[in-house]
Amino acid sequence: MKQVGRELGVRYVLEGSVRKAGQRVRVAAQLIDATTGAHLWADRFDGSLEDVFDLQDEVASSVAGVIEPALQAAETVRSAGRLTNDLTAYDLYLRAYEMFFSSAQQIPEALRLLERAIARDPHYGPALAWAAVCCHRMCTDRSSTDPEMDSRKGADFGRRALQAAGDDPGTLANAALALSYFGEDLGTMIALVDRALVLNPSFARGWYIGGILRLFAGQPDQAIECGEASLRLSPRGKFGQVFSVIGAGLLFSRRFDEALPKLLLATQDDPSFPIAHRYLAACYAHMGRLDEAREVVTRLRAITPVVMPRATPFRNPEHRELLLSGLRRAAGESG
C-alpha cells in the first residue's frame, strides 16, 4: 500500500475484494493510510446474486458515508501532530474540528482557532460554517459570556458561509443549523439541508442536522428517521448527539419508555452536552421517576448553571411546554 500511495500520489487508499460462493456474494472494503499502512476502516457486505444491484447500492452508500468522517479524523490526527508555528487555515480548521467534538468546554477555543483561519482566508466556507456552529453551541449551552454578541457573530458567520458554500454539503448543512437557531426562516434552512443531502445522500452529519431542524419544526417522526439514517451511514462516527435527536423525537411523541435508553446513551457519549441532560431529566419527570430526574439535574448544574433552556427554536408550543414542564418538575423537586 505504501508503494501504491507513492505511485498514485495519494495519502489514502480504498481497497476491496469480491468473493462469490454459489448464489452468495461478499464484498470486503478497507480504507488504508498509505503513508503508514494503518487500517482506518474495514467492513464487509453480504448479499445474493439475485439482489446484486441492491447490494451495490448498499456498498456505495455505506462506503461513501464512512470515507469522509474517517479521512477527517485521520487528517485531524495528522495535523495535530505537526510541529510548526506557521499553520495554514486548513490546519487551524482541523484542530478546531477535533476540539469541537472532544468536549463542550473546548468549543470557545475551537471558535478562536476558526476565527484565525477565517482571518487568513475570509471566504473559507467550512471554517465560516463551523464558526457559526460554535457560536450556536455556546448560546445553546449557555456557556457564552456574551450571548448577544455571539448570536450576532454566529448569524454573520452563517450568512457568509452560505455565500461561500457553493455545492459543499457540509458548509450548507452546518450554516443552516446555526442560522435556524439564530432566527432565519426554518423552512428555508430545511431546504438547504435537503439540498446538501441531494448533493451527498451519504452525508451522515447532514442527516443528523436534518433531524435537529425537524425537531425545531415540530416533526418528531421525521427527526427520528433522519437520526436513524445518520446512524446507519456512520455507526461509529462522532457527528454530535444523534441519539439525543432520536431520543428527543421519541420524547416529543410521548414515547417515554423508548426515549429513555436513547437519551441515556446520549449523555454517556458526551457527559458535557447539556441538551441531552435536559431531555433526559424531562423524560424521567414525565415518567414519574423524580429521583432519577433530580440526579440528572444535579449533573446538569455541574455542567451549566442554566437548567431551563431557551426553548424558542421549538416551533410547536406543545413540544416546548412538554420539555419545560418536565424540567420544572425535575428542577423543582431538586430544590
Residues contacting residue 212 through CB under 8 Å, at least 6 positions apart: 177, 180, 223, 245
Tell me if 202 sits within 8 A of 61, measured CB to CB. Answer: yes
Share of the chain above pLDDT 70, in %: 91
Are residues 97 and 47 both part of a single domain?
no
Structure confidence at residue 238 (pLDDT): 58
Structure confidence at residue 144 (pLDDT): 84
Rounded-to-integer distance, Cα 240 and Cα 47, Å: 31
Instruction: Indicate which CATH number applies to the domain containing 25.
Output: 3.40.50.10070
Confidence class for position 188, pLDDT limits 50, 70, 90: very high
Cell 426515549 sits at which residue? 259
Are residues 228 and 330 both part of a single domain?
yes
Q: Using one digit for the tens of pLDDT, what is the confidence trace for 153-172?
A: 999 999 999 999 988 999 99
Rounded-to-integer distance, Cα 90 and Cα 286, Å: 46
Do the domain assignments include residue 188? yes
Give the residues across from 18 on adjacent strands.
27
Last residue of a domain, one of 173, 201, 229: 201
Do the domain assignments include residue 79? no
Domain encompassing residue 102: 84-201
Are residues 233 and 272 both part of a single domain?
yes
Are residues 51 and 88 both part of a single domain?
no
Do the domain assignments include residue 73? no
Last residue of a domain, one of 168, 201, 234: 201
Are residues 189 and 102 both part of a single domain?
yes
Are residues 298 and 331 both part of a single domain?
yes
- Confidence (pTM): 0.76
Do the domain assignments include residue 54? yes
Last residue of a domain, one of 31, 65, 99: 65
Are residues 196 and 99 both part of a single domain?
yes
Tell me if 274 sits within 8 A of 142, measured CB to CB. Answer: yes
Instruction: Indicate which CATH number applies to the domain containing 132.
Output: 1.25.40.10
Mean pLDDT of the chain: 87
Are residues 194 and 252 both part of a single domain?
no
Structure confidence at residue 335 (pLDDT): 40
Do the domain assignments include residue 76? no
Do the domain assignments include residue 74? no
Q: Using one digit for the tens of pLDDT, what is the confidence trace for 41-92?
A: 788 888 888 887 788 878 877 777 777 776 766 666 555 544 333 357 888 9
Task: Count up the domains in the chain and report the number.
Answer: 3
Give the residue-averaged pLDDT of 122-135: 94
Structure confidence at residue 83 (pLDDT): 33
Rounded-to-integer distance, Cα 2 and Cα 38, Å: 10
Alpha helices in the chain (DSSP H): 2-8, 52-80, 89-102, 107-120, 125-141, 147-165, 169-181, 186-199, 204-216, 220-233, 242-252, 256-269, 274-286, 290-303, 317-333
* pLDDT top residue among 181 and 332: 181
Structure confidence at residue 34 (pLDDT): 83
